[in-house]
Amino acid sequence: MEQNETFKDWLFRYQHIYRLRRTNKQKQRFLSALFKDIAEVRQDIQVIEYQKNKRYISSNLYVGNIEKADRIICTYYDTPPQSLGAYYLFDRRQQRKATTNFILISLFAALIAGLLLTIVYMKSANDTFDFRSFSTLLVVAGYGLYFYLLSKIAKGLSNRKTLIRNSSSILSILTLITEIRDQKTAFAFVDEGCFGDVGLEVLQSSCRKSAKIYYLDCVGAEDELHFIGSSIPEARLKDFIVQPSSNQVTHIFSGKTEHSEQGERYYLEKSVLNSKTIQLNNLKIISKLFK
């Protein structure tokens, strides 16, 4: 794929400036930037809000007529917390386990560090504890900062290396938006993709039952491209590992295959997820697929 100036600008901003999309504030900053980028080539953009959780409001961004489109190309835009090990696609239980293990190990390490620092302080401190002294105020501030960081760890630290998962899929769809202008194709960027299918389900409730949904995930990784679905001639799928499926949602992603008692599992190794570069050829292949 030829990197024009517009794509280079997208790549820099979504890899660095808008790479974190976990909190409501981070998501709103991202959606605002995404809206402006798309508005340079399309005007039929809408942001819809929904509240599946009482604590916060989620948002999907649509391009084109979602209700009348024959095909919808979409991806999720929220970013995951830190986790241990590989990312197993479609395996929510494994994903939760990997995130929980990272939180527990991080909390244990933080508690040990806090205990050791407390012991060092107790041995070096004077017997008198004067709140008016600068050293005492510094210690109090240090403990305040420590417990603030501890609360952050308990909630899960944000993964800052999000180029592969899932900024690469966002870049792929941005490219498609500039290349495809037919009225029967729509695009969607959905929320809550890292923790379930809430955003995707909201999208499905708005589109026709006959509409075909193509869901992209980690398409910029260096592993092979997979296509789980139907509705596209085999001749156009020669660059994919194909698994037929009659579901409304077709999944397109990069990953390795692992055989287990439960069947085939798809995953991305940690080193691949942390990559600082994307496979531009994969984005080119996806562009050819939908043209």
Helix H, strand E, coil C: the string for the chain is CCCCHHHHHHHHHHHHHCCCCCCHHHHHHHHHHHHHHHHCCCCCEEEEEEEEECCEEEEEEEECCCCCCCEEEEEECCCCECCCCCEEECCHHHHHHHHHHHHHHHHHHHHHHHHHHHHHHHHHCCCCCCCCCHHHHHHHHHHHHHHHHHHHHHHCCECCCCHHHHHHHHHHHHHHHHHCCCCCEEEEEECCCCCCCHHHHHHHHHCCCCCEEEEEECCCCCCCEEEEECCCCHHHHCCCEEEECCCCEEEEEECEEEEECCEEEEEECHHHHCCCCCCHHHHHHHHHHHC
**End of a domain among 133, 155, 177?**
155
Domain ends where: 122, 138, 155? 155
Distance of alpha carbon 193 from alpha carbon 89, whole angstroms: 11
> Residue 58 belongs to a domain with what CATH number?
3.40.630.10
For residue 2, pLDDT over 60 is answered with no
Residues 65 and 117 in one domain: no
* 221 located within any domain: yes
Say what the pLDDT of residue 146 is.
Answer: 84
Q: What is the pLDDT of residue 56?
A: 81
Mean pLDDT of the chain: 91
Tokens for 142?
Answer: 């240090």
- The answer to whether position 232 is within a domain reads yes
Residue 150 and residue 167 in one domain: no
In a domain, 86, yes or no: no
Q: Is residue 266 part of a domain?
A: yes
Residues 250 and 233 in one domain: yes
Within this chain, do residues 209 and 278 fall inside the same structural domain, yes or no?
yes
The token pair that represents 206 in the structure block? 């708005």
What's the pLDDT score for residue 127? Answer: 58
List, for residues 270-279, the tens digit of each pLDDT value. Answer: 999 999 999 9
Number of domains present in the structure of the chain = 2
Residue 231 belongs to a domain: yes
Give the bridge partners for 258, in sequence order.
265
For 57, residues 6+ apart whose C-beta sits below 8 A from its C-beta are: 24, 49, 50, 51
Task: Answer yes or no: do 193 and 282 share one domain.
Answer: yes
Structural domain containing residue 252? 5-81+160-290
| Whether 21 and 46 share a structural domain | yes
Verify that 281 and 164 share a domain, yes or no.
yes
Can you tell me the mean pLDDT for 126-141? 70
Sign of CA dihedral 107, 109, 115, 120: negative
Average pLDDT, stretch 31-56? 91
Both tokens assigned to 129: 């504890």
Q: Is residue 53 part of a domain?
A: yes
User: Which of 123, 155, 187 is the C-terminal boundary of a domain?
Assistant: 155
Q: Are residues 41 and 123 in the same domain?
A: no
291, pLDDT greater than 90: no
Point out which residues pair with 27 in neighbouring strands: none
Please tell me whether residues 196 and 243 are part of one structural domain: yes
Does residue 51 lie within any of the structural domains? yes
Which of 63-67, 130-134, 144-148, 227-231 tops mean pLDDT?
63-67
Whether residue 65 sits in one domain with residue 204: yes
pLDDT at 261 over 60: yes
Indicate the range of 8-22, 149-163, 207-221 predicted with least confidence: 149-163
Specify the pLDDT at position 214.
97
Q: What is the pLDDT of residues 241-257, one digit of tens each?
A: 999 998 999 999 999 99
Residue 274 confidence (pLDDT):
95
> Does residue 148 register a pLDDT over 90?
no
Please tell me whether the peptide bond between 101 and the residue prior to it is cis, using omega within 30 degrees of 0: no
pLDDT value at residue 284: 95
* CA-based nearest residue to 61, from 43, 77, 48: 48
Q: 169 and 147 share a domain?
A: no
Q: What's the pTM?
A: 0.90
From the list 178, 241, 186, the residue with the least C-alpha distance to 73 is 186
Residue 96 forms part of a structural domain: yes
168 and 243 fall within a common domain: yes
